[in-house]
Amino acid sequence: RLLEILPAATENESLSTRLFTADLDSTHLRYEALSYIWGAKSGIDKKHFIYVNGYRQSVTPNLHSALSSLRHPSWRRTLWVDSICINQADVQERCHQVLLMARIYAGASRVLVYLG
């Protein structure tokens, strides 16, 4: 899965995204991989929200900040973001995706590192 950040005319607009399935073997696939600090494991800091395919989803403040800074006012940006593109509630999927991470990062047009 990949996450597309939808454009917004102003910084104050909610972060709207589109999650979609993609084929890693596609020669036309272009995306950037985002590496960032997740934050506290307690879940207490999950106070920020984005919209994924029209549904509200909580994200860490650091991820919200990263996505906000990467959003463009007029064009869409396609990213691979582990906490959203991997179903974190499915242990089997997480294990499978971890095995693909080197390939996912290698296939990215760029790897973006967000430090805050």
User: Each residue of 77-103: pLDDT tens digit?
Assistant: 999 999 999 988 899 998 999 899 999
- pLDDT category, 9, cuts 50, 70, 90? confident
Long-range pairs, 36-43, Cβ under 8 A, ≥24: 36/62, 36/63, 36/66, 36/113, 36/114, 36/115, 37/62, 37/114, 37/115, 37/116, 38/62, 38/63, 38/83, 39/63
Write out pLDDT tens, residues 23-40. Answer: 988 888 999 999 998 775
pTM over 0.95, yes/no: no
Our CA angle for 31, 105, 74, nearest 5°, is: 20
Tokens representing 79 are 């990213």
| Number of residues that make up the chain | 116
Sign of the CA dihedral 100, 93, 37, 81? positive
What's the maximum distance between 2 C-alpha atoms anywhere in the chain? 40
